[in-house]
A = this chain, B = another copy of it.
């Protein structure tokens, strides 16, 4: 008969490999002790893993046992993930941002009317980057979502408020237009 230390090592090996919860019944079968004894061993083990300076602990789930990491180490574990850098803004995203900034709150339909192209992906990029956000719904037919710029937008561009946006004279738009070939 194995010593208690040996049994605990077996349990560690078994729970480690299983990944999923191992039912009490199965575990007692594997270590060759009755369910009551196994439960006592597990209760003791759960307590000891919890209090020892260990990275993993045992969770009791649905009359089974499973290893999991202790929540306090989540930040370290997160570093295992692939590090992905968010790209800068595409010119499409810049355009949508400019339209939202100067016309907020504004619907997607308005943005697309100005740009003449579908702007879904640019919009979601901007929301993802926390530069614009939803701002309720328009009263018009279909009650479309409205978008406005965020605090992050002000921070990134260095504006104190939306009133800080650089002024655009109507004739500026005209001028550019006159210099543009029309067909």
Residues of A whose CB lies within 8 Å of any CB of B are 3, 5-6, 8-14, 16-18, 22, 26, 29-31, 53-56, 67, 69-70, 73, 76-77, 79-80, 82-83
Contacts and interface: CB of A to CB of B under 8 A. Distances in A.
Contact of A14 (B13, B29, B31, B76): B76
Number of copies: 2
Contacts of A16: 16, 55-56, 67, 69
A73 B8 contact: no
Contacts of A12: 54-56
Consensus secondary structure, chain A interface:
helix
A24 to B, nearest CB: 14
Contacts of A8: 53, 55
Given A31-B76, A79-B30, A55 B14 contact: yes
A16 B17 CA distance: 11
27 contacts: A3-B53, A5-B53, A6-B53, A9-B53, A9-B55, A9-B70, A9-B73, A10-B73, A12-B54, A12-B55, A12-B56, A13-B69, A14-B73, A14-B76, A14-B80, A16-B16, A16-B55, A16-B56, A16-B67, A16-B69, A17-B77, A17-B83, A18-B80, A18-B82, A22-B80, A26-B79, A31-B76
A157 to B, nearest CB: 20
A56 B13 contact: yes
